[in-house]
Amino acid sequence: MDFKKRFALPLPALEEELGERLSLIPETDQEMEEQARRYQLSLAKPPGSLGELENIAVRLAGMTGHLKSRIRKKRILVLCADNGVVEEGVSSAPQSVTAMQACNMTRHLTGMSCLAREFHCECRVVDVGIATPYHCPEIVDRRIKKGTANLAKEAAMTRRETLLAILTGMDLAEEAAKEGVDLLGVGEMGIGNTTTSSAVLAVLTGRSAREVTGRGGGLLDEAYRHKIRVIDEAVQFHRPDPADPVEVLSKVGGLDLAAMCGVFLGAARNRIPAVIDGFISIVAALLAKRLSERASAYFFASHVSEEPGYLIAQKELSLSSFLQLQMRLGEGSGCVLAFEVIRAACTIMNEMATFEEANIQDDYLTEIRDEMKR
């Protein structure tokens, strides 16, 4: 549906649209996964010797429905929005940095966009809620509103705004599918979004703010303790229902988180593998899983973020990350690196010889293969 037309729809219509689109998310192809697993055992190598690359190739087969997947077009979607909670002094950077960095991404001046250019990866920057004015025509305008309210004092968004953001994210994934994108990365830019992500994760998992909260962009000790207090008090004030992810987002989340959640859901709907970046991205992925259990079968985790809540969310998703590089930049930076790991897995599957093709007798591996199948 046209972005502007959806704005005129009442809340029940938005709820209905989300429900209908969630119902269309397919299961992964288990038969194709098993076929890929058997094919891996036929390749000219000791079984399991390529470790996680083998698992990636098997999962890709289930996601795409093809034994041999090819990554021709990669895209990072960077969802940008401001968060009213920065009024509470929970971030080391001013709110204006959101707009500045969003513009810088389009000019290949940020960490993620430099990596994206180096590895020939398209980067699409989307404004779903930037508060400060900017002039940058390369940014895609899907703004729901100019930043969220201060969650320490009131709900961050209305339920209607939250649904609009989720559906907008789903639209972005749908557009990517129509444009031939094979692999999606989900990044973000939004000052204050480690606070919103920690609050959401605390509600979804029942953990304390201290357990899920990190220093974000580099808070010093007193500011860090203050951030934890703000999150604890906000969760107690709003008491969102953890069984209702839309309510959790509405009360203590952000527009970027909601739209990212939608991208993950939309990717699954279109059988596009979606790569999680860091802490904010993995919380959005967990929200998507809570809305649709089937969706999470289409997610890859790129790297272990230094934020303490990351591993908690990763466990909830039952995923393992490819890389451990002590990164905490966000933006989608980890996705760019993970894309290359996924491409490597495809190359092995598509180009490596089987034992038969390599003229190698493989009878000596029968016992090992049988053990692996068990």
Active site residues: 331
What is the 3 state secondary structure string of 251-281?
HHCCHHHHHHHHHHHHHHHCCCCEEECCHHH
Give the Cα separation of 169 and 260 in Å (integer).
6
Amino acid occupying residue 280: I
Give the Cα separation of 294 and 23 in Å (integer).
10
Give the Cα separation of 143 and 164 in Å (integer).
10
CB 264 within 8 A of CB 285: yes
Give the Cα separation of 40 and 47 in Å (integer).
8
Q: Which helix (H) or strand (E) holds 345?
A: helix 333-351
CB 306 within 8 A of CB 327: yes
Task: Please report, for residues 49, 82, 221, 244, 348, the alpha-carbon distance to residue 43 in angstroms, rounded to integers and kept in the order given.
Answer: 11, 49, 53, 46, 9
